[in-house]
Amino acid sequence: MLYKYALRTQGIAVVFFLLSVLIVSVAFFGTTRTAHAAASSAPGNPMVATITVGMNIDCSSVPNTAQAQSILQQKHLCQYATSSRSGPSPDIVRGRVCGDCGCLILNLFNARGGYLQWNGEITSTQGPIVNASYAGSWTNNNLSTVGPVARSSGLIFTSDWLDIATFYTRAGTIYGRIDTARDTLWWGGTCTNADSVYNYANVT
């Protein structure tokens, strides 16, 4: 009994210890980040790393106005992109794109019964991610139906965020793509995807 109590107390103590380390680290790095931001303009001493790995238009946040749609159409963007206008994109699979921040990964699986399992994943090689989001779409090539996909995490603290969703696409060859992805690192840096990823699955 005493042993159990001791174990529990020890457990609680460990939890409190870890919690305080976490709080202190976040507070500490939060403060220094502000200081670094101020110091970053000093020549020869770039304290803040800016990681840029390409930008794409965020199709999920385009205003639903005639003008915006017309511009997208003229510029062949989002749903008017040449590659996704008629079924599969020119390349059939590019399930993983990595940059100096980490990787953006898309895996699609047959969940059967007309359902597609969508696994979108963002990993980080620059320390923990505090939040992440992405936008894209799926297309049923046999039925020419499409569905938008826009997802975001809450507050996380992880090096690997896997977002699993099930979509009712009906049976067919389903192509999925992520056009834009973004994550915020624990120290405030932002990463965006270097390129889009796409994949497919034969849903039964």
Partner 1 sequence: MAGVAASETVNADEIYWRNQLLAIRHLRPGTPVPQPRGPLARQLFDDLLHLPDQHDPLPWLQREREPAIALLMLSLIVDFAAQLQAGAQQLRSLPVETATPSAHEQSASYLASVAGLFGQLLTSPAPQGVSTPWGERITETAGADQLVAEMSHLQQQSKLQRELSPNRSQSEPGFKQLLADLLRVPDTVDLLRWLQSERSELSARYVLEYLLRQAFPPVNAFDEKPYTRPSLFPKAHSHITGRLSVSVDRIDFYEQGFAIHLHARISSQDAWRTLKRSTAVFPPQWQGFTSISDDLGHSYLTQLARCERSNQLWWWREQLTLHCYPAVGEAHELLLKSQPTALALYRVPRLGDEIISVPGPSLGEMRVRVPLP
Query: Cβ of residue 49: shortest distance to partner 1, in angstroms?
Result: 19
Rg (CA), the chain: 22
Specify the residue, 31 or 202, whose C-beta has the smaller distance to partner 1.
202
Assess contact for 142 and 186: CB atoms under 8 A: no
Q: Which residues bind partner 1 (CB under 8 A)?
A: 82-83, 87-93, 107-115, 117, 125, 141-142, 153-154, 156-168, 171-173, 200-202, 204
Specify the residue, 73 or 202, whose C-beta has the smaller distance to partner 1.
202
Report the phi/psi class of residue 112: left, alpha or beta, with left for phi > 0 and alpha for psi in -120 to 50. Answer: left
Q: For residue 17, which phi and psi values (nearest 5 degrees)?
A: -60, -50
**Residue 100, token pair as written in the block:** 């100096």
Query: Cβ of residue 153: shortest distance to partner 1, in angstroms?
Result: 6
Query: Cβ of residue 37: shortest distance to partner 1, in angstroms?
Result: 27
Specify the residue, 4 or 43, whose C-beta has the smaller distance to partner 1.
4
Query: Cβ of residue 172: shortest distance to partner 1, in angstroms?
Result: 6
Residue type, position 130, single letter = V
Specify the residue, 58 or 160, whose C-beta has the smaller distance to partner 1.
160
Work out the angle at residue 73's Cα, subtended by the Cα atoms of residues 68 and 75, and round it to the nearest 5 degrees. 95
